[in-house]
Copies of this chain bind each other. A is one copy, B any other.
Amino acid sequence: MGVFWSRGYHATALPDLLRATKLSRGSLYAAFGDKHSLFLRALDRYIADALTRMDVELASRREPVDGLRAFLAGYVDRTSGAKGRRGCLLVATAMELAGQDADVERRIASFFEAMKARVADALSRAKAAGKLADGVEPASAAGILVCFVEGLRVVGKTAPTRSKSQATADALLDRFIR
């Protein structure tokens, strides 16, 4: 997964994969079939990791606003400095392959939906608790947050400072909460 993450699909050559997996050519093909299948596996793992992370951050036992803070803080962390420059396998894949690879596109689309659903759920709970500012609708606010964090990943490729990203994220959340 790491090597696709760092370099993207096309730029990752077989030798890179062999070095990363410490497998021989034969074993790799026996285990995964081909490069494309291996990539899909890596992408699935990346998506699963991201979703379980969100499930922890936005867990329903927790204060929803705290959960959203943690969720945003996580993105700020991953889009700052060296981590930010490494980028995001999901966003890179969306831009590189989503238009031409149906397998990939399905996964990307369903990930965004799943993410939005989780954020919307947290926002709904916040609203029920009276923590949302007037006129904030969970569904559209979730759409905003999803776009925002994915945009953070893009802008983070050119490494803005962590403090600026954090301030931006704080400013956005401030528009939503009471």
Chain A positions near chain B (C-beta within 8 angstroms): 6-8, 10-11, 85-88, 91-92, 94-96, 98-100, 105, 108-109, 112, 135-137, 140-141, 143-144, 146-155, 157-158, 164, 167-168, 171-172, 174-176
Given A96-B11, A96-B95; A146-B155 close (CB under 8 Å)? yes
Contacts A/B (CB < 8 Å), 21 sampled: A85-B98, A94-B154, A94-B158, A95-B96, A98-B158, A99-B157, A108-B158, A112-B155, A136-B175, A137-B171, A140-B168, A143-B164, A144-B168, A144-B172, A146-B155, A148-B148, A148-B151, A149-B151, A151-B154, A153-B154, A154-B154
Cβ–Cβ contact A91 & B11, under 8 A? no
Query: Smallest Cβ distance from A151 to chain B, in angstroms?
Result: 3
Summarize A's interface: helix, strand, loop or mixed: helix
A87-B99, A92-B96, A95-B157 are known; give 4 further A-B pairs, CB within 8 A.
Answer: A8-B96, A137-B171, A148-B151, A153-B154
Interface centre among A105, A135, A155 (most CB of B within 10 A): A155
Cβ–Cβ contact B8 & A157, under 8 A? no
